[in-house]
Structure 1
């Protein structure tokens, strides 16, 4: 039988102290690093809450174009029309421009220059709501317009050209493509992301001089210092379209309204910009739109536009007007006083 000697008792005591010391050190380390981690987590949480920005609901869950794989459900002839229609929108001038293979009837720009990604870019002046909202009454003509009229307006104004024959394969293809883009949208519905985003008014007039500074810094590398754009190889169309001059859109085009151009520029320009990541401020967008639309461009007879004068939009730059605001304010702003007058006038008539 083994008995404890004083030496064995001392050894056991030392081992016990060692174990207790290790446990104590472990507890202290746990408490220390746990506290550090807690402070770090608290700091991260505090920092995260400080920098978190709620997403703008205008730019979440926007409508998108139908996927190409769905064309498998179309008949071969219908698919051919849709694909040709998209090609015509993307490369209009190759077919219908000054050197077009089908007919020479427009200025060399493509529909896609104003209706981005063949009319499928959210907030890129797309066609999403065309199928669901036409035919409809338009105050500019004072009539109920169908899609053929709307397409030909673009040819005569934005492309500064001639009407496209309504019975032609080209018109039928464009209409088929527009119908394809809007196939899932209910009648009279305009989904989020359709058309052009409407910017808030400036409290001042938009300034072409300030806009020139923006243009020189952000735009001229593509559209060139004189606004003439860059022709594609072969000279049949433009890689970067002209923004003014004889080959650009005329004074009857929708983008000649500064509010439309400002909204278009804000979420699509310069190249690479999307609605998810804008590069220009609102003021820069308004000012550069004012600069571009102050430059010379083709004229158009607008005498039959807006037969009801009081229905003219706030930024239509040509009189006569039902209100007393000058043409310069209708063109450059400030727009809110005009908009308020229009709302009050329409309310008093109803």
Structure 2
């Protein structure tokens, strides 16, 4: 009932606005692979392509908002970036689809299909309940280093309408039932930034640049390949800044022209090594959040979060790069549910 009221309110507001990462696989990491055991399998049906059918969207104010919401997902910086045509809210030229590929409807690419159902939600990182609008702004504030969209703006309404549409279309699709990123087999081998650097040079630098700077389009208004570190990349503390989290995403999405729907290109250990290299704060700087400490309750801090304090006695470097299983086992022995 509550959700229906919210949806009606969104549609009414919409109407009132007139709404409209290779070459060949490197040998790097093969020695670690022997320690890593088998790569965790990914069910093939979960990775089959999904197409967005714009013709199925109704020609109504709500439908127009849905289509604009998808445009915002794909070309975020063009519309609301530093030189955006519809507002200047982002501090960098990244787009939502750099992480949430295919507008958030690609399985194991931080899919957004269930966002409509999952919010409002208590967020441990912020230590409070966020609405879906809050979560949209959370992404704009954090990975994109921007300022919040007004809650009643055309853009916020479009994001919300699009998220409702994709939820209605695919909430019962079995391809989205597993985690938003691919499962990984974690072992007692720590992730290695040194191995990751070799992998990066062989497989990633051709698109993201030797210095991880990314590549802007010809108009200089959005990234074709996003920056992986530096002032124009995502903030520390963002989801992609966690090694396990990023590695799960890399496993089924990168290199984009080498990974196939059914077969990851990287082994689990290689994905972890790459994520460790990209997120090694000792060599790669990135923007820092301005709004204080994340995870005010240390009991809720993810295993791979790279900044203390922690509930356990494991050092910060182990939380950052692993090995993770000893931490996970310890937390379980204490009756806690580890997150990562």
Question: For the Cα contact (< 8 Å) 2:304–2:321, is it kept in 1?
Answer: yes
How far residue 239 of structure 1 moved from its aligned partner, in angstroms, is 1.0
Which residue of structure 2 lines up, in the alignment, with residue 336 of structure 1?
Answer: 325
Which residue of structure 1 lines up, in the alignment, with residue 152 of structure 2?
Answer: 167
Question: Is residue 315 from structure 1 mapped to residue 300 from structure 2 by the alignment?
Answer: no
TM-score (norm 2): 0.80
Between Structure 1 and Structure 2, how many residues are aligned?
Answer: 292
Question: For the Cα contact (< 8 Å) 2:47–2:262, is it kept in 1?
Answer: no
Larger helix share, 1 or 2: 1
Alignment of 1:1-350 (within 5 A): 58-60=43-45, 67-68=52-53, 71-72=56-57, 74=58, 76-106=60-90, 107-184=92-169, 191-193=176-178, 195-272=180-257, 273-294=259-280, 295-301=284-290, 303-347=292-336
Give CA-to-partner distance per residue, 1:121-160, whole Å, 9 cap, x none. 1111111121122222221122222111111111111111
Question: For the Cα contact (< 8 Å) 1:141–1:307, is it kept in 2?
Answer: yes
TM-score (norm 1): 0.78
How far residue 203 of structure 1 moved from its aligned partner, in angstroms, is 1.8
Query: C-alpha distance in 2, partners of 1:64/1:224?
Result: 28
Query: C-alpha distance in 1, partners of 2:148/2:175?
Result: 27
Secondary structure of residue in 1 paired with 2:176: coil
How far residue 190 of structure 1 moved from its aligned partner, in angstroms, is 9.7
Question: For the Cα contact (< 8 Å) 1:127–1:194, is it kept in 2?
Answer: no
Give CA-to-partner distance per residue, 1:182-202, whole Å, 9 cap, x none. 115669x99325521231213
Which residue of structure 1 lines up, in the alignment, with residue 12 of structure 2?
Answer: none
Question: For the Cα contact (< 8 Å) 2:107–2:175, is it kept in 1?
Answer: no
Give CA-to-partner distance per residue, 1:322-346, whole Å, 9 cap, x none. 1111110110000111112222323
Query: C-alpha distance in 2, partners of 1:341/1:68?
Result: 47
Question: For the Cα contact (< 8 Å) 1:63–1:191, is it kept in 2?
Answer: no
How far residue 291 of structure 1 moved from its aligned partner, in angstroms, is 0.2
Query: C-alpha distance in 2, partners of 1:67/1:224?
Result: 30
Question: For the Cα contact (< 8 Å) 2:105–2:112, is it kept in 1?
Answer: yes
Give CA-to-partner distance per residue, 1:263-311, whole Å, 9 cap, x none. 1111100122244121111111000100000121111146342121111
The structure having more radius of gyration, on CA atoms, is 1
Which residue of structure 2 lines up, in the alignment, with residue 42 of structure 1?
Answer: none
Question: For the Cα contact (< 8 Å) 2:244–2:272, is it kept in 1?
Answer: yes
The higher-RCO structure (CA 8 Å, 6+ apart) is: 2
Structure 1 stretches lacking a partner, 5+ long: 1-54
